[in-house]
Amino acid sequence: MKIYEYQAFPNPRRVRMFLAEKGIDGITFEQVNVPEGEHRTDAFKAKNPSATVPLLELDDGAYIGETTAISRYFETVHPEPALMGRTPKEQAAIDMWQRRVEDGLMNAVGAYFHHATPGLGALESYQNKEWGEKNRERAIATMHWLDQELADRQFIAGERFSIADITALCGIDYAKFCEIGIPPAYTNLQRWYDQVSSRPSAGA
């Protein structure tokens, strides 16, 4: 089994954190040089037409793209500790928050990075600064929402750590990299951030 990734980037980090939380090791990691455009070569696109990392290659040669789908594979093969919920209600709440933080943080910060900053440099074939700035606002609005939600619960999707916490942490660190910090008034979000950042998996 092999994971294609570029270690410095946020979506591959989500998978590494997920694996660390599960205690899964022994997987080969192959670096794909995203800043040099290796993910857009015909050779890589034959594996993943989306031209993104991470990408999981199974032992039978099948490829699984998309961070959440890769996580689902490992959740099914190694159910404990559960990171995607146990009961129907827990699973639905985690899916709901996973979608919200993926869209409102990861995707919003990604749009800011690619459109309103130099992004991937020469690889950026189209940039729309106004759209990028709109997404910066969207990321901060999501932080505000999470700050309110976290006033009366410990983790993003409930009282148990889940994949939604991993996605939100990687999204907020991506925002930090893009110089979008957690506003000082968002004390609940900061408390959650400090707590989740101190888990050993955060360094994976």
Ligand X SMILES: N[C@@H](CCC(=O)N[C@@H](CS)C(=O)NCC(=O)O)C(=O)O
Helix (H, G, I), strand (E, B) or coil at 74: helix
Cα 92 from Cα 89, distance rounded (Å): 5
Number of residues engaging ligand X in binding (CB under 6 A) = 10
Q: Are 9 and 51 in contact (CB under 8 A)?
A: no
Q: Which of residues 2-21 bind ligand X (CB under 6 A)?
A: 9-11
171 interacts with ligand X by CB under 6 A: no
* Tokens (6 digits) for 188: 């609940």
163 interacts with ligand X by CB under 6 A: no
* Minimum separation from the CB atom of position 167 to ligand X (A): 9
Which residue, 34 or 105, has its beta carbon nearer to ligand X? Answer: 34
Which residue, 111 or 150, has its beta carbon nearer to ligand X? Answer: 111
Which residue, 171 or 190, has its beta carbon nearer to ligand X? Answer: 171
Alpha helices in the chain (DSSP H): 10-22, 42-47, 67-77, 88-101, 108-116, 129-149, 163-177, 187-197
* Minimum separation from the CB atom of position 162 to ligand X (A): 16
Cα 158 from Cα 136, distance rounded (Å): 26
173 interacts with ligand X by CB under 6 A: no
What count of other Cβ atoms lies within 10 Å of the Cβ of residue 124?
13
135 interacts with ligand X by CB under 6 A: no
Contact track, ligand X, 63-102, x by CB under 6 A: ---xx-----------------------------------
